[in-house]
Structure 1
Amino acid sequence: MAGAGPADDTAPYLAEALTRHLGRPVSLTEIGLAEPFPVPAPDWRADTLAALADLGRGDLDVERRRALSPAAYSAAALAVPGSEWWTQRAEQSAIRPATGRRRVGRGDLDAVRDMVAMFSRIDQRHGGGHARAAVVQYLTTDVSTYLGGRFTDDQVRREMFAAASELAYLSGGMAFDNAEHAIAQRYFTLSVSLAAEADDAPMAGHVLRAMAHQAADLGHGRQAVNLANASMDGPRYASAAPRERALLGVVRARALAANGQPKAAAAALLRAGDDLAAATPGHDEPGRVFFFGEASLAHETACTLRDTGDLGGALREFRHSVRTRKAATFTRTHAVTLGYLGSVQARQGAIEEACATWSRALDAMDGIHSARARRTTADMRRALSPVRGRGIPAVAELDARAAAYLTESA
């Protein structure tokens, strides 16, 4: 049977109808209407569990993942569904029949949360290129089985879907860090769908914020602002803990800066700072925001100021981020922050100071598997290009180290 093309709008509905009829997820691949991977674009209409099965199967196929080009990232798929979609997802999840016999209780939920916490810390320490396959494998086997099981009560069901959403978000974040943008977008879309089934508004906001960050990085400023606004809409912001509100707000500031709105970006930064000042560590904070604190706010603030042309402010905030971050725990971001700081120093003409900062960044990159770290290193070499032949020892040494890192980490 021929595969379904992007214009075939009936395929998702057929898969959903069969899913409901058979009482288990039925993917487009299973009924011969699509190649396992890649798919044309994220589809908000797809059944959540069927989409999980399709995405995981393709992502674990190394050759198919390598064949997915950056052009497959879909700006058209960034439109956030309307209120009816969110209501339907929550309602459908509550009445979806179990597809397996496994009884799923709070002990299973605690195990998934422990695994999410462990993988999150590995990502922060070693980068998105490390252990992502293990995250996907766990999501598409153990966790997928739980999602189709018989829950002891509805609260456990909702919390399990929220935990699965967080794991899908982590898969997307790791792919994003590794410059696998089309794959990241699909995981983020899946994560939003899982959060909607859990009826967990703050979790949905958390993921929409990540999608805004990705869109801004890829040059889609208008869509980034729309996503950032959606991440703070209604209970996604109002029901979130102050620390998470600050995270949503500072990414909105970055999106506004990327879209050429410096005054609105400045106001958003002030609001994010106020929200973080109101945060107090405790049981009311979700584990997913463990990484966001003073150093992270300073990093995002610096990026926002840099993008609005305020290099002096960016320099101040990048330095503050470097001083206050726990580098041994958040090594990947620390290395990137140092890289960005060096770039600002170079733009201000302080080349030797930039080389010293970049040397610290390369020290921190030992053991990091991250395309963002590689991109930061490539940026170092580009910034050094105009002065490479001037006989400056610090430039020659740093350029050689950067070239070696890019070769060794390829």
Structure 2
Amino acid sequence: MYGSNEEDKLKNIMKLKEELEKDLKKKGLLKDKKQETSKSSTVDESTMKRLKESVVKSSHIVPEESLTLYNINLQDYDASIEDVIKALRIFSAKTTNMNHKLIFEGLVKLLEGNVKGAKDSFTQAQGIEAQYNKILSNLYSGEDVSQELALFLKSYPDSIYPLLLILEREIIKGTADGIEKILSILSKRSYFWHLIFELFKDTYSEEAAISAVREKVFASLIMLLFVYIDRTKDLPIQNHTCLNAHKSYLRGETISAPDWCPFGRIAIEARRYLAGYKIDFGAVKPFEKTPEGKLFLGLVYLNEGNKTIAEQYINAFEKQVGDYKIYKKHLKQSKMGIEQFIALPSDFEPVEEKISIIEFVTKNPGYDIYVRYRKFEFVRLVFSEEHCKINYSK
């Protein structure tokens, strides 16, 4: 959780951002991007066809647009980490631009988990991408990058890169309010980010998804998000952890995921728990700073009758996410509150009174619960496999 010092740092960075934006607007260099509303209120087959075509067309990356992991994901979201590493090594071997060569080498090291080596490569390179990658490496190393971020933002006030760094910082720190502040700014820059903002707040719409399609970025990811909005749509199995884990979740199927995938590993343990097996707490431990990790562990301890530890996790979850809503139904599973981690919840009805999770469960034995809150996972998805592999590997 954030202490007062961390909150002050974020406030200072946001204040600097607001001041720079005001100055740019006065100079006519920055305008708010108004969100269009689509005339179509349904996701028709022609829309999905165009989206699938975008996936096919974006099934490769080009050297000059592959100087950051964000831009690589933007071009070819469903490429595996191994395939990206292969492509970057080819770029590095072929390029005559030594600056790009250093960046490609640094990105390979970063993807392989050699964060220190990556930082060394980025430090030798120049340009906004090199600076972005260097600060990202420091962030992944667990360093306090507040001062670097402030200087970076001041140097490049109209660039998306400082905002992306602040956003990843907030994801790692686990602050829902901080994430929402950055997303509110990013949502004015593109329809894609407007869609992510809506998904985070759980207020997504078909119109937002259709508008995002037209930008032809993150095509495979948008196809996945379409299925959350319209569950009659389907996705092909792809060689990508995030896409496959979410597809299995949407279908209510068994998920296969590596140790560093918070969404997938929690789902795996939840399914095992419902089947009568004991929880492998070591498998969930790396994710206990995430809201879903706290909620899952809290509910497990509640089911096991350890109310003291359960309260610690659930109180921390409630503080972390801020606003949340409890839904209920008569308990049909063997364990309370676990269904939401293995498939989309169904047949739940909202609890009208404002009440804590512990209080509701205590007063209402025999009920299952589903907790609805701002979803970090939809934001985490933008940064793809790389974010989780680097930050959650044991």
Do these two structures clear the TM 0.5 threshold for a shared fold by scoring above it? no
Which category describes the TM-score, using the shorter chain as reference length?
0.3 to 0.5
Bigger relative contact order, structure 1 or 2 (CA pairs below 8 A, ≥6 apart):
2
Normalised by the size of structure 2, how large is the TM-score?
0.41
Structure (1/2) with the larger helix percentage = 1
- State the TM-score, normalizing by the size of structure 1: 0.40
